[in-house]
Amino acid sequence: MFTEVLSAAPQSGTNAINDFLAGVKPEFVPAWAVPLTAVGIAVGITIALVSVIAMFSTWLERKVSGHIQCRYGPMRAGWHGWLQPLADGVKLLLKEDLVPVGADRVMYVVAPAIVLASVLAALAAYPLAPGFFFADLDLGIFFILAMTSTTTIGVVMAGWSSNSKWSLYGAMREAAQVVAYEIPLGISLLVPIMVAGSFNLLEVSRGQAGMFGMDWYIWPWVNPFMLPCFVLFFIAILAETKRAPFDLPEAESELVAGFMTEYSGIRWSFFFMEEYAAMYLYSVVGAFFFFGGFESPLTWGAAKVFGDGHVLYHCAAGLTLILKGFAGVFLMMWLRWTLPRVRIDQVMTLGYKYLTPLALACVLGGSLWEVFVAPILPWRNG
Amino acid sequence: MSAAVKYVKNVVDTLVTTLVGMKITGKYLLQKPITVQYPDERLPIPNRYRGIHYLEQEKCIECLACARACPIDCIEMDAVRHGKELEWISFTLDYQKCMFCELCVYPCPKDCIHMGTEFAFVSYDRSEFVHDLLSYRGMSRDAKQRMVEAEEKKKAKEAAKAAKEAAKVAAQAAKEGKEAAGGGGEAKA
């Protein structure tokens, strides 16, 4: 029965790895072991990806915050402190793993795992390169949004099970915030989805494959409602990833790190890994739906020189996406060290009274443009 | 102001002020940091800063003027005299007590104790705060040299004196001998 279940599961889930393993499989290995191993390798790659993204992002955050405050940030561990995250990681692994006396032990222990697992699952739909992805989902963006909002469950569990009033306040704020901002986040993505005509990240990227990034959806000649949509999307992802000025769930100065107050060591670092991985993932989503995804002058040149299937073309495309993702992460950090934290009622006002109606207006305008104006634009029908 | 105008104004204000703020932080981001990498590089310290003392041991004559001037008696010194030369045993300053008042500096007749510019003094044990200012113990090489020279000079002087004495004695003896001989002659005569 076990074999039947596995063979019924979509085999394309771990495409490249699965095909490779099926090719080199010796006779005595049973067929069902191939997708299982492929899934294992994919999970390993995803976990490594999350760790590397989180490590680089913490270093970047400390450097950006330092330089904005006219400091250097970490300078001791390696060149300009680039080994600092490694030292921090070792420190966090060696720290004592505390569980408060009054805490709900099971939920307390499981919560960080759920938080991290949600972002790991979301990363499964993140294509590393046009030809290297774990899951080519037709509902890719839908899956990513669903998985990243699962984080909230983990956060609320952490806040509740800690049995601390700070943690509970933090968790309640997180829940309120995510409910408020999930709506404009989803709605603001509708305009690029309408233009692309697909939920699939790879197809959205292919739709912007014009010369020198001239077909990126962000440009006003594609759809003038795209830029306000991007601004709304960006504000919403700041709130979704609990970044300043919407870092109310962890508000270190009033709630003492909010839902993470009672956590220590490696469990605490899970929350941070989730935060940075989610920042990167949302930036990548923004890159896919507004800034061309894999497409850039670099990718275009690589496709012209090496051809579409060449490994260097895939490398160029992957590098383009990584650069775009970290550009978004950098922008989020820049904003964090610029703006003060807003009050909880201001967060709600912004979410319900401004972002949601404006997003709806943008969708209305964008769809009217798509129906009436886009068909008569020569560059939209080429 | 109607509600609609206010709504639009709020949206525009939020975006504009955020961009203004980002421009300011962006300017600081690109600026060179004003902090220094402390143990490796240091900011200049004024010359009259009162930090850890330093001693010009060659000049010191162990007159105890600084120790007497100290209002909290944190200076102690010990040395053995060999004529004019000093064999140093210790010159300690207890930095658990010292209040860096600089009163020890002024009475020094040889101008050999000074306030330094070093301000950081860290230690794993309290006893290490009783800091020895000596750069060497015992006698300096020059002092030893001077002592050896003085000794040689003294020896030479004594030798010369002894020789002189001997010559004197010899002369006396000769005189006496001559006198004796003369006497003999007289006696002979």
Residue B16, pLDDT above cutoff 90 = yes
CB contact under 8 A, B21 and A338: yes
Every domain of chain B and the residues it spans: 1-34, 53-139
Average pLDDT over residues A188-203: 86
Q: How far apart are CA A304 and CA A234, in angstroms?
A: 33
**Per-residue pLDDT, A221:** 80
Which DSSP state fits A296?
S
In contact, A341 and A245? CB cutoff 8 Å: yes
CB contact under 8 A, B11 and A358: yes
Residue A288, pLDDT above cutoff 80 = yes
- Judged by a CB distance cut-off of 8 A, whether residue A333 touches chain B is no
Among chain B residues, CA nearest to A353: B7
Helices (H), chain B: 3-30, 65-69, 141-188
**Per-residue pLDDT, A15:** 60
Every domain of chain A and the residues it spans: 1-94, 100-380
**Residue that is written with structure tokens 């993702």 in the block:** A325
Query: Is the Cα torsion angle A264, A145, A351, A195 positive or negative in sign?
Result: positive
pLDDT: which is higher, A235 or B84: A235
B59-87 burial, b for 16+ CB within 10 Å, e for fewer? ebeeeebbbebbeeebbebebeeeeebbb
The answer for residues whose C-beta is within 8 angstroms of residue B174's C-beta and 6 or more apart is none
B61 pLDDT band, cuts 50/70/90, is confident
Among chain A residues, CA nearest to B28: A68
Mutation test of the interface with chain A: which of B25, B30, B35, B36, choosing the one with the most A Cβ atoms within 10 A? Answer: B25
In contact, A193 and A206? CB cutoff 8 Å: no
The token duo for A55 is 């490590």
Helix (H) or strand (E) holding A305: helix A297-306
Q: How far apart are CA A201 and CA A134, in angstroms?
A: 13
**Per-residue pLDDT, A96:** 83
In contact, A84 and A60? CB cutoff 8 Å: no
A118-153 burial, b for 16+ CB within 10 Å, e for fewer? bbbbbbbbbbbbbbbbbbbbeebbbbbbebbbbbbe
Q: How far apart are CA B180 and CA B27, in angstroms?
A: 115
- Considering only CA atoms, which of A327, A282, A331 is closest in space to residue A125? A282
pLDDT: which is higher, A30 or A240: A240
Among A64, A71, A334, beta carbon nearest to B35: A71
CA angle at A340 for the pair A338 and A344, rounded to the nearest 5°: 140
Among A75, A231, A337, beta carbon nearest to B25: A337
Residue A125, pLDDT above cutoff 90 = no
The answer for residues whose C-beta is within 8 angstroms of residue A46's C-beta and 6 or more apart is A120, A123, A124, A134
pLDDT (tens digit per residue) in B141-172? 888 888 888 888 888 898 888 888 888 888 88
Between the two ends of chain A, the Cα-to-Cα distance in Å is 51
Mutation test of the interface with chain A: which of B8, B11, B29, choosing the one with the most A Cβ atoms within 10 A? Answer: B29
**Per-residue pLDDT, A261:** 83
SS3 B63: coil
**Per-residue pLDDT, A9:** 42
Q: How far apart are CA A376 and CA B9, in angstroms?
A: 34
Which class does domain B53-139 fall in? alpha beta
B185 pLDDT band, cuts 50/70/90, is low
Left if phi > 0, otherwise alpha if psi is -120 to 50, otherwise beta: which for B108? beta
Amino acid at B154: K
Average pLDDT value over all residues in chain B: 86
Which DSSP state fits B101?
-
Q: Is the peptide bond before A245 cis (omega within 30 degrees of 0)?
A: yes
Average pLDDT over residues A270-285: 90
Residues of A in contact with B10 (CB under 8 A): 354
In contact, B128 and B94? CB cutoff 8 Å: no
Mutation test of the interface with chain B: which of A70, A235, A341, A353, choosing the one with the most B Cβ atoms within 10 A? Answer: A70
Amino acid at B10: N
Indicate the range of A10-24, A176-190, A312-326, A344-358 predicted with least confidence: A10-24
CB contact under 8 A, B31 and A334: no
pLDDT (tens digit per residue) in A34-88? 777 777 887 888 888 888 888 899 999 999 999 999 888 888 888 888 888 888 8
The token duo for A337 is 């060290």
Q: How far apart are CA B95 and CA B129, in angstroms?
A: 5
Residue A239, pLDDT above cutoff 80 = yes
CA angle at A92 for the pair A90 and A95, rounded to the nearest 5°: 110
**Per-residue pLDDT, A13:** 42
Query: Is the Cα torsion angle A334, A336, A340, A344 positive or negative in sign?
Result: positive
pLDDT: which is higher, A96 or B179: A96
A32 pLDDT band, cuts 50/70/90, is confident
In contact, A257 and A248? CB cutoff 8 Å: no
- Considering only CA atoms, which of A43, A52, A49, A57 is closest in space to residue A14? A43
**Per-residue pLDDT, A361:** 92
Among A67, A335, A358, beta carbon nearest to B33: A67
Q: What is the DSSP string of B69-86?
A: H-TT--EEEEEEEETTEE
Percent of residues, chain A, with pLDDT higher than 70: 94
Average pLDDT over residues A351-365: 91
Residue A8, pLDDT above cutoff 50 = no
Beta partners for A115? none
Within 10 Å of residue B55's Cβ, how many Cβ atoms?
Answer: 20
Residue B59, pLDDT above cutoff 50 = yes
CA A146 to chain centre: 12
Residue A203, pLDDT above cutoff 90 = no
φ and ψ of A104, to 5 deg: -80, 100
Left if phi > 0, otherwise alpha if psi is -120 to 50, otherwise beta: which for B130? beta
**Per-residue pLDDT, A16:** 65
Q: How far apart are CA A103 and CA A266, in angstroms?
A: 18
B184 pLDDT band, cuts 50/70/90, is low
Q: How far apart are CA B93 and CA B134, in angstroms?
A: 10
pLDDT (tens digit per residue) in B100-122? 988 999 999 989 999 988 888 88
